[in-house]
Amino acid sequence: MCGIIGYIGHQQVQNILIDGLHRLEYRGYDSAGIAVLEGGEIGLRKKAGRVQELGQLVSEQPLQGSMGIGHTRWATHGEVNDANSHPHLGGDGEVCLVHNGVIENYSKLRKALQAKGYEFHTATDSEVIAHLLAFEVKRLKEDGDSEGQALYVNAIQSTLVQLKGTYGLAVLFEDCPDKLFVARVGSPLVIGIGENEHFVASDASPLAGHTDEVVYLSDNEIAILSAGDLQIIHRDAGAVNPKIEVLDQQAADSELGDFPHYMLKEIFEQPQTIENAMRGRFNDDEATAVFGGLNLTAQQLRRIDRVVLTACGTSWHAGLVGEYLLEEFARIPTEVEYASELRYRNPPMSENTMIFAITQSGETADTLAAMRECKRKGHPTLAICNTVGSTIAREADGGIYLHAGPEIGVASTKAFTSQVTVLTLLALFFGRMRHLSYPAGSRIISHLREIPELVEQALKCNEMCKYVADKYYNSNNFLYLGRLYNFPVALEGALKLKEISYIHAEGYPAAEMKHGPIALVDEQTPSVFVVPRCGIYPKVISNLEEVKARKGPVIAIACQGDDKIAELADDVIFVPDVEEYLQPLIASIPLQLLSYHIAVLRGCNVDRPRNLAKSVTVE
């Protein structure tokens, strides 16, 4: 959940670390800090608050050196303050580290170290690792059985075997001024390879512009970085030959451009990102979709008799759309499971059940654990993922990349529509293998090709969304209601509003309103009805009229030219009319914009909502 950056080479490191932390801030923004090793001394600067406040501190109190580490924090253990900010020192200051993850047995280790005389200055679990490393270095020196680099590698290995939980670590030792050590279990780390310099980061975004060669560290691996050399050791298997991959990302991909917030930029990128998700994936001759990375034969795919989609948050909502799509077009029984629940359950699944893990980051801890559990039981396990080289992408049996580019805003927008696009393609693919006719497949392809332009048209509702936001931004409760394909859209709209504006919102199937939620309806509680034309349009209109009868304000998301809804609703946001199964791609646009403008009017930090981080890499 936190962000780690590290550098060793020939450049002054301070600005590299600060710039990297700015790019990683979406992973955590409670506090930030850097440490620089120069002349056998560790210089430390850290501060609660945003990275820009740390930047101000280091401009006033600069650090000189060409080797250092940095961290931006999402608090797990200990409140948000300067002391609990990373980096942390161990022993008498001879060890310095940054940590992403959770150490589950930290309390026991802390007591044992306190009994040995180690003094703790923070409430974090991470400080335990720093002191434990200091203790192991001291013990090995006294034993005299290792020296030089081997001493510190052995100390790290001795420390890591005592930890229970997850970690991504970058470590400096005062007495080893030409080496930077990193290690991971469960928390991602990427190493960037430059000319006589090396970088390390929690993800690839800080590396763009510095290098286009990266190594993705795997669990239980320790890397030893110097200016001109990279060594990787597996805890059990010994030396590992680094697998160098090309980083297909530019620094400009993570820049704001002319937009005031990343979230708005990413909302307006959706015509392009949806097109990217479809590019090269149509086979017009066969009226089907094409995927190059499923890694299963046609015979194996035809044997699939059940699909389980597992995900968290927004990705779970995309999965719910996917359930409707797969069952309608492919006639495959499909279930959507919260990954946080699936990892601890033992549901009956036949040997022909296929698992899809849906994730933007590819590092979500619960989704990764659920995928590993299903894979352990022998099920074909694939990923729908946006981040190349992520843990889930590498560990899945196969999968589909979204190609949406970096998503910096914490509230997911373009990843959601890209996931829904890929799931639509997947439903077409399985449908054509089973029951879907050639003409039906051709119609789906034709309709999908029109979607980027129609999303472009939908974005023209931005001004109307601003108007509606200005009318309702002081409300404390919202209801979001939709049916069939638009029920997941209602859930996603409610989540977006909660995430960035801190307004209580609930999403429901419109017909379920009478079974409890209607008790919440009053003159101060707006109801957002997602009601484009569909087979049960009259039913949704009936639900809408029930809210109006109780004087509840109604905001409707409706198809252009729908005069009836304009007579009933207090406010209408019109979107292009599309096939029912494609409505989530269009109807989600005004809900994203509405939540954005409400949050701005309420003075909220749209891209950095409180208590949240982009990638949930801890349980």
pTM: 0.88
- Over residues 195-209, the pLDDT tens digits come to 999 999 998 888 988
365 Ramachandran zone, left/alpha/beta (phi>0; psi -120 to 50):
alpha
Alpha-carbon span 177 to 173, nearest angstrom = 7
- Over residues 315-356, the pLDDT tens digits come to 999 999 999 999 999 999 999 999 999 988 888 888 899 999
Question: Which DSSP string corresponds to 567-617?
Answer: HH-SEEEEE----GGGHHHHHHHHHHHHHHHHHHHTT--SSS-TT--SS--
- Over residues 362-392, the pLDDT tens digits come to 988 899 999 999 999 999 999 999 988 889 9
For residue 584, whether the previous peptide bond is cis, meaning omega lies within 30 degrees of 0, is no
pLDDT higher than threshold 90 for residue 238: no
Burial class (CB in 10 A: 0-12, 13-18, 19+), 195: exposed
- Over residues 44-66, the pLDDT tens digits come to 999 999 899 999 999 999 999 99
Cα angle 273, 277, 281 (rounded to 5 degrees) comes to 150
Which pLDDT belongs to residue 465? 97
Tokens read off for 425: 């393609």
Which pLDDT belongs to residue 259? 94
The domain defined by 3-253 carries CATH number 3.40.190.10: no
Query: Among the CATH numbers 3.40.50.300, 2.60.40.350, 3.20.20.70, 3.40.50.10490, which is that of 262-601?
Result: 3.40.50.10490
Q: Annotated catalytic, 2?
A: yes
- Over residues 436-462, the pLDDT tens digits come to 999 999 999 999 999 999 999 999 999
Q: Annotated catalytic, 96?
A: no
Q: Look up tokens 């638009």; give the residue.
A: 486
Which pLDDT belongs to residue 541? 85
- Over residues 163-182, the pLDDT tens digits come to 999 999 999 999 999 999 99
From 2, 96, 176, 465, active-site residue:
2
Alpha-carbon span 481 to 578, nearest angstrom = 19
More confident residue, 209 or 269: 269
Which pLDDT belongs to residue 397? 93
Which pLDDT belongs to residue 617? 63
Over range 468-486, report the average pLDDT: 94
Which pLDDT belongs to residue 464? 97
Over range 568-575, report the average pLDDT: 93
Q: 242-246, 378-382, 510-514, 613-617: which has the minimum mean pLDDT?
A: 613-617
Domain extents in the chain: 3-253, 262-601
Burial class (CB in 10 A: 0-12, 13-18, 19+), 101: buried
- Over residues 109-127, the pLDDT tens digits come to 999 999 999 999 999 999 9
Of 376, 417, 423, 377, give the one whose Cα is nearest residue 399. Answer: 423
From 46, 179, 265, 614, active-site residue:
614
Q: Are 200 and 211 in contact (CB under 8 A)?
A: no
Of 49, 57, 17, 51, give the one whose Cα is nearest residue 170. Answer: 17
Over range 274-281, report the average pLDDT: 95
What letter would DSSP give residue 120?
Answer: P
pLDDT higher than threshold 90 for residue 143: no
Number of alpha carbons in the 13 Å side-chain half-sphere of residue 574: 11
Over range 511-518, report the average pLDDT: 80
More confident residue, 543 or 274: 274
Of 565, 545, 570, give the one whose Cα is nearest residue 555. Answer: 570
Residue type, 515: H
- List 41's β-bridge partners, or say none: 38
